[in-house]
Amino acid sequence: MAEQKTSSTRYELGGDEFIFVELSESMNLEAMFKGMAITNGLAEEKLDGIMDICPGNASYMIRLNPEVIHPQEVIEKLKKLEASTTDYENIAIESRVIDVPVLFEDPWTHEALMRFRKNHQDPDSTDLEYCARINGFDSKQDLIRSIVDYPFLVSMVGFVPGLPFTFQLTSQEKQIEVPKYVTPRTFTPERAFGFGGAFAVIYPVQGAGGYQLFGTAAAPILDVQQQLPDFKESMVFPRQGDILRYRDVDRDEYDSIRQEVEAGTFRYKTEELSFTPGEVMSDPQAFAEKVMRRLYHD
């Protein structure tokens, strides 16, 4: 790959068709929002030859048709877009705020994680216990509370179809960070709620995985048959820019939601919200309260 740099941004050519752009080596809110602004700006340009725009957490990738547009021309356009996004903190983002019920310490992910203790950094504790300890919490309940107290932004969707990478909208010092398993599991239950690095995810389907397992989501995020009302437009429910509030539910509510899913009547509780990146970064606590009021009409 040929590499080019401008300030701290890294541009790389991948063959003839791809351009990879890294805005930051570390994940942070500034890089995430800046990437959203640049890729949204590129989409609005509607340049001939741009085949796909793939936003990432602190990076993005462009696929192009080199017979229509030269990669260097695209890179110059991207540099201009980056230079013009100095006021990205005040860009209005139209988002969905979504209530996502999660059963923490559920029996299914517990069974899975116990099968793979030899793959883990601490075989003598559960994933929740281990992650609470290394993040300085007094108990696993305190860790769960810190997850549900602040909303998460969907920074990208990928890895497997429909999996949302979500970054918590809180101050840097309050960010939860956990390592992935030393060796990945060969089994992870469908809808498992996991944490790896600074990201919370929901596994859309059963499969392998290396994120720490904390619980399971009550409702699907992928509906290939598109039978549920929320999936009529797309088989994948999460979108980049969505704000997810993971809500701790008990077993009775979890079972009730599962019955609605099986009956084909379940709907996510969703509200529309307009916000700016600056609003989030200047006062995460106030923004979290705004999200809660909007979602639950308190």
- To the nearest 10°, report the CA torsion of 43, 59, 91, 86: -110
Q: Could you give the residue ranges of the DSSP H alpha helices within the chain?
A: 29-45, 71-83, 107-115, 127-134, 140-149, 251-263, 277-282, 284-296
Strands 93-104 and 243-248: parallel
Summarize pLDDT for 74-99 with one digit per residue, the tens.
Answer: 999 999 998 887 777 788 888 999 99
Tokens 């619980």 identify what position?
Answer: 215
pLDDT interval class at 1 (50, 70, 90): very low
> Lowest-pLDDT range, 152-156, 168-172, 219-223?
168-172
Summarize pLDDT for 162-184 with one digit per residue, the tens.
Answer: 899 999 988 878 889 999 999 99
| Contact by Cβ (8 Å): 197, 117 | no
| Contact by Cβ (8 Å): 244, 100 | yes
Backbone angles phi, psi at 44, to 5 degrees: -70, -25
Domains 3-87 and 94-296 share a fold: no
**Average pLDDT of the residues of the chain:** 91
Residue 27: predicted pLDDT: 72
Nearest in space to 238 (alpha carbons), one of 200, 183, 280 = 200
> Lowest-pLDDT range, 161-175, 223-237, 244-258, 259-273?
161-175
With a pLDDT cut of 90, the percent of the chain lying above it is 69
Tell me: pLDDT of 269 over 80: yes
Distances (CA, A) of 88 to 41, 56, 91, 216, 231: 11, 17, 5, 35, 31
Domain residue extents for the chain: 3-87, 94-296
Tell me: pLDDT of 261 over 60: yes
CA atoms of 155 and 199, how far apart (whole Å) = 9
**Highest CATH level, class, for 3-87:** alpha beta
Range 94-296 has CATH code 2.40.70.10: no
Residue 99: predicted pLDDT: 98
Summarize pLDDT for 34-75 with one digit per residue, the tens.
Answer: 888 888 889 988 999 999 998 887 889 999 999 999 999 999
